[in-house]
Amino acid sequence: MTRDQFIRHATRGLWGTRKRDAALELRGAIEDKIYRHQLCGLDAADAERAALRDLGSPHAIARDLNRVHTAPAAIRATLLLGVAGLLSFQAAAQIPAVGSAFMPNDVDIRQCDFVTGQAMADQSPATRARMDRLLAQVGGMAGLREQCRAGAFATLGPLLNVADLLTALKAAQVPVNADASASSALLLKGGPNGSVPQISFQTETIGGQRYLPGMFLIAFLQTVTTQPFTLTGQTNPVLTIGSARVPIGSARAPVQTVDVLAHGLSAARHTDTSLPLPVTTIPMTTTQPIDPAAPQLAVPGKDGEVFAVVQNILRINEDRRGADAPETLWVRVRQNGRIAFTDELTPTIRLVNSQAELDQATARGVKAAVVYRVTTANLQRPVMTVVPAAQVKVVTRP
């Protein structure tokens, strides 16, 4: 639903100047919310969807607006205050953003020169061809260095400011008993007195501030609350817990939602056996440059939906070298009908219908993948539903 459609539904039953005035007020509220969501990193389309979702049902708004304009004058002012509260609710529930940063060494120009130099040092024909394609895609060596300085090769990815995160959760009325005084850990405590150590998370110190790797966000939230929560938006998402909206990430170190989901799913599998994943997987983040000629998967559904792919390509390759590696987990958003699932030119990969079939393919040395649709409405208990192999197609790029 677009904002114009939303406004038409919300002002149905009003006429003349009353309809015009209500539409103008509602449009202003929507545009203010869109602006707020864009400040949090959402693109225009996602910001509009989030703004309309914040306001709720346009039919409920229509009922309230009609009550305002048909009520006796004595109670009209009270009803108007109620409608105004509805339209401004999101602003009241908005909480300052949780800042993010990269480890300084990961984006240091000297480290970037070393990383890109090492990548170019391998003179094997296949690697050289892959590097040539990557360089052409990013604008040459200078472009690759800039990607590095923007965090493309950051080992831990974007990290989240611990003080910001704890403050935001407190404002969202999420009880967190945490001790961040240790030099390298954020310690969560439990028990009657809040003195029993429960779990600790690795942290890093940047500029005197403590930071938690963003990959731990879902596991952290699952530890500190049993409330449902979700992430909205593809870049620098908004964390929703109850009525609270917490912007996550910054422009300088953008947080990609699918990367947080990938690590969250992989970690959740250790305790949630309902997730159809191997116990150990390697999440492949979007920050890692992949060969632009690698095939993709055409999947059913709508653009913007989230899919997860478990594949054994790396494992098969390592087995042939006499090494050992687990499957990889690619979590991606459907764009133009496709998702990425490999960094290898492997158009003959077999698509299967379950982890058991994937294990059988691995035992036979056959490269294979299984695709899942990820339901993200409640990340406290994420749901993965297999996409039948017959509905998925490997698509090679021109």
User: What local confidence, expressed as pLDDT, does residue 118 receive?
Assistant: 59
Alpha-carbon gap, residue 217 to 249, rounded angstroms: 12
Q: Where a domain ends, among 52, 77, 93?
A: 93
Do residues 168 and 185 share a domain?
A: yes
> pLDDT tens-digit profile of 52-67?
887 778 887 887 777 6
* 77: CB partners within 8 A, 6+ apart: none
Do residues 267 and 213 share a domain?
A: no
What's the mean per-residue pLDDT of the chain?
81
Least confident of 211-215, 224-228, 327-331, 351-355: 224-228
Do residues 129 and 29 share a domain?
A: no
pTM of the model: 0.72
Angstrom CA distances, 15 to 65, 152, 265, 357, stand at 12, 54, 50, 61
Least confident of 31-45, 132-146, 365-379: 31-45
Do residues 191 and 265 share a domain?
A: no
367: in domain: yes
The model's confidence at residue 306, banded by pLDDT at 50, 70 and 90, is very high
Do residues 57 and 125 share a domain?
A: no
User: What local confidence, expressed as pLDDT, does residue 194 receive?
Assistant: 55
Q: Where a domain ends, among 93, 121, 137?
A: 93
Do residues 81 and 103 share a domain?
A: no
Do residues 133 and 173 share a domain?
A: yes
Considering its fold, how many domains does the chain have in total? Answer: 3
Instruction: State whether residue 376 is helix, strand or coil.
Output: coil
328: in domain: yes
Helical ranges in the chain per DSSP H: 3-10, 16-39, 44-55, 58-70, 73-93, 109-121, 125-138, 140-149, 162-171, 217-224, 257-268, 313-320, 355-363
The model's confidence at residue 46, banded by pLDDT at 50, 70 and 90, is confident
User: What local confidence, expressed as pLDDT, does residue 119 receive?
Assistant: 57
Residue scoring higher pLDDT (180 or 384): 384
The model's confidence at residue 78, banded by pLDDT at 50, 70 and 90, is very low
Q: Where a domain ends, among 63, 93, 123?
A: 93
The answer on pLDDT for 122 being more than 50 is yes
The answer on pLDDT for 91 being more than 50 is no
> pLDDT tens-digit profile of 148-170?
777 777 878 899 999 999 989 88
Do residues 264 and 144 share a domain?
A: no
The answer on pLDDT for 189 being more than 80 is no
Instruction: State whether residue 363 is helix, strand or coil.
Output: helix
The model's confidence at residue 388, banded by pLDDT at 50, 70 and 90, is very high
* Average pLDDT, integer, range 249-266: 92
Do residues 209 and 329 share a domain?
A: no
The answer on pLDDT for 129 being more than 80 is no
234: in domain: no
Best CA proximity match to 283, nearest among 343, 215, 225: 215
User: What local confidence, expressed as pLDDT, does residue 359 receive?
Assistant: 93
The model's confidence at residue 338, banded by pLDDT at 50, 70 and 90, is very high
Q: Quote the domain boundaries for residue 41.
A: 3-93
Alpha-carbon gap, residue 201 to 219, rounded angstroms: 10
- Spacing of C-alpha 294 from chain mean position: 23
